[in-house]
Structure formats: C-alpha cells, structure tokens
Amino acid sequence: MALVFSKFLTADDIENGLSIPGCSLGPLPFQEGQSMNMHVHDGNGHEWIFSCTIKRNESMGHFLSVGWNKFVRERDLRVDDKVTIHEEAMKNQAMGTWIKVEVKRKIRLFGEDVWADV
C-alpha cells in the first residue's frame, strides 16, 4: 500500500472540502477547473464517491479540492483528526487500484494519547 497523502484536518477541510496539494499527487494531468470523481474505500469496505476539482491559489499552486461533505458528516470528522489516503494495487491488475481513506482521532485513554479509527 503506497501513501498518497496525509494531513491533520483544518476547519477549512471540514467546512469547504479537503485540499490536497498537487505536489502530493504528482503532476496533475488536467487543467484548472477540471472535475472528476474519486472512488474511495474506507476501513469498513464502504465505497464513497468524492467529487474533485482542480483549483489553483497563490499559496498552494495547483491542488485537488475534494468534496466529501457526506463523509465528514457521517464520520463526525473534527479539526486535528488525521486523514490518510493510500493507493493499493488490486490483485487483479486489470481492475486498477484501490484508493483507501483512513481517519484517526487522538484520544486520551488511561493517561496516554492513543490514535483511534474514526
């Protein structure tokens, strides 16, 4: 499984959509404003479809804006949760790759910080 992207969520990621810098994805093969769907699987095997748009701003350059509002609401995501996106080759190479999303939250348990799945 190859790590594609990982970050601690900000209020902007939760309220307006996840922003993934283009440098995390390699050269984006599309033009600014281009849209696509990202089919993602979570740890429970549930498939989610995130709508994505390529955008550009001064501080990040090109980035992928990921629309994931339903996922955010259903998982009750919060600022400082850690999201990680992996790419995994499927056993049947003809079927391509899986994109897997994991979200973890730091909780305090018996005086220790533990990262739990959300």
Residue 17 has pLDDT above 90, yes or no: yes
Provide the 3-class DSSP secondary structure of residue 47: strand
User: DSSP string spanning 49-101?
Assistant: EEEEEEEEETTTEEEEEEE-HHHHHHHT--TT-EEEEEEEE-SSGGG-EEEEE
Phi-psi category of 26—alpha, beta or left, where left has phi over 0 and alpha has psi -120 to 50? left
Residue 94 pLDDT level (bands cut at 50, 70, 90): low
Residue 22 has pLDDT above 90, yes or no: no
| Per CATH, domain 2-117 is 3.40.50.300 | no
- Alpha carbon of 7 to those of 2, 14, 30, 101, 116: distances in Å? 15, 12, 23, 12, 15
Write the pLDDT tens digit of every residue in 30-74: 677 788 888 899 888 899 999 999 888 888 788 889 999 999 999
Residue 91 has pLDDT above 60, yes or no: no
The percentage of residues in the chain with a pLDDT greater than 70, rounded to a whole number, is 87
Residue 106 has pLDDT above 90, yes or no: yes
Contact status, residue 93 vs residue 86, Cβ threshold 8 Å: no
Rounded to the nearest 5 degrees, what angle is found at the Cα of 45, between the Cα atoms of 69 and 2?
85
Provide the 3-class DSSP secondary structure of residue 23: helix
